[in-house]
Structure 1
């Protein structure tokens, strides 16, 4: 398989990544031992929110268990190692855990198609996994719909082969750093590759790594009219979950969506992990996210 690396910025990223990795190795006080925030994790379904860590104290005070950040916002900020050191310092001070991160790859860093850049993908992934370990986190979500969208006219099966091939190369890094990559199926409005739990499992089973598992996103399942029964069918692979209302990707309680069938399926498989409210637009973050935890707790208690 021929993978092109044509973008100069990709080569620059590889050089920068090497320098940053060297910097991490030179900072044992911050990075060598990590934060070890996993101790005392609750059993059952734990509620979290995808948000900037600036919201951490408010979310903790509301009763959320954890926060979910973005790779680019927390692990690979624009100001590089200095920015990450500052983020880690804040995390040390507040001690509100980050369990996972979304948006592993930007849309222009392709896993498939004629311009697939697997070297760039792997460089970014390894650095993100290394820093996630330093932050005491469990998961990096591999959704990245733009990165995996198959270009028009490109052979679909070849794209599948490309995407699986690069995920197989990610797996040893995930195993090395003890951070699980959670494959996220997305709805067809966001990408044309991996649109169901079954297709996510195709990747998981092809990679065959204990550190490459499945994410269940109830919002995307609703958009695709995917049955809650699929959660039961593929439950053994699921390690992390997202949720939002179907119409406008709002937090639970805004439109009044009934998530009970999906929550019931999670309980049926004995799911023991995070359920993150993952939205990208809010009318009033504080009010809506406060209502969100109340709605989810109520619906969970009723299944």
Structure 2
């Protein structure tokens, strides 16, 4: 009986192996199959849009993974604490994350120069970080170009030292609440201080805190003719990114800008964070924001 079973088992084995060998001889040889490189997944990022939170549902349906809000629009609204509580309730109800907040400081609060007001800035920053933590957010963007304009005739070295001193005082607050402050270089049309990734890294390196990092804004890089290679050079510091078209700060797809050299640089540093479309004027928000996300996904898939 066992001999019959053994014969049947051998017949089945021969049928199976014959089929496998035949399959390999049709098309690629076995060595070609084994030598073929694995298929790499398309490069993708978490995509978001800077907008008021009432656009959250639309952006989620349009393919975003998060929204980016402003400090004054969500965390410290003009209508005060009661409005913030309503905002927080809406966030918890909608379950669509706010990854970060822009415009930490109003232009009236100066980080440097003769009118620098560090005490007021630190009070505001602590409230912002506390509420950002309550909202489950990761980043607060420290751009605020009007706050860091070096006045005419003011010593640049002193101004830089003032700004670094302030940022060093912000760092323990960011560490306390577990929210990262992302230093944002801006183009010279908006401010005359911290206009490149290299200058942003000077601040980050001077502060030496795990919660003070760098934001890469591709719009500002384009305005400053800053090479994508700077992203590779300073990639270890970058935690968040913004993007918009160069000419009029429109969303991707309006003018047709090719962002692939900069997206390729992000891929090269294995950047896995967020990429936010940050525009302030739209002709048709719904149409242009949705198109912007589609264009970014397409260009990311091509790098």
TM-score tier by shorter-chain length is 0.7 to 0.9
RMSD: 0.8
Query: In the alignment, what sits opposite 1:118?
Result: 118
2:4: which partner in 1? none
Query: How many angstroms apart in 2 are the aligned matches of 1:243 and 1:137?
Result: 20
**Structure 1 equivalent of residue 292 of structure 2:** 292
Superposition deviation, residue 166 in structure 1: 0.2
Structure 1 residue 45: Cα displacement: 1.6
* Alpha-carbon displacement from aligned partner over 1:13-61 (angstroms, at most 9, x marks no partner): xxxxxxxxxxxxxxxxxxxxxxxxxxxxxx9621000000010000001
CA distance, structure 1, for counterparts of residue 228 and residue 120 of structure 2: 36
The answer to whether the Cα contact below 8 Å between 2:44 and 2:301 also exists between their aligned partners in 1 is no
Q: Distance in 2 between matches of 1:120 and 1:150?
A: 19
- TM-score when scaled to structure 1? 0.85
Q: TM-score, normalised by structure 2?
A: 0.85
**Offset of 1:76 from its aligned partner?**
0.4
Contact 1:71 1:128 (C-alpha < 8 Å) held by counterparts: yes
Partner of 1:73: 73
Q: Which runs of 5+ in 1 are unaligned?
A: 1-42
Is the CA contact 1:140–1:179 (under 8 Å) kept in the aligned structure 2?
A: yes
Q: 1:12 corresponds to which residue?
A: none
SS at match of 2:100: strand
Q: Across the two proteins, how many residue pairs are aligned to each other? A: 261
Larger Rg: 2
Q: What SS does structure 2 have at the residue aligned with 1:290?
A: helix
Q: Which residue is equivalent to 1:23?
A: none
Q: Which residue of 2 aligns with 1:22?
A: none
Is the 1:44–1:271 Cα contact (8 Å) retained in structure 2? no
Q: What does residue 241 of structure 1 align with?
A: 241
The aligned runs of 1:46-85 (5 Å cut-off) are: 46-85=46-85
Deviation of residue 294 (structure 1)?
A: 0.8
CA distance in 1, matches of 2:290, 2:78: 30
Q: CA deviation at 1:239?
A: 0.1
Partner in structure 2 of residue 165 of structure 1: 165
How many angstroms apart in 1 are the aligned matches of 2:300 and 2:132?
A: 29
Q: Unpaired runs of 5+ in structure 2? A: 1-42
Post-superposition offset of 1:80: 1.6
Question: How far off is 1:300 after superposition?
Answer: 0.2
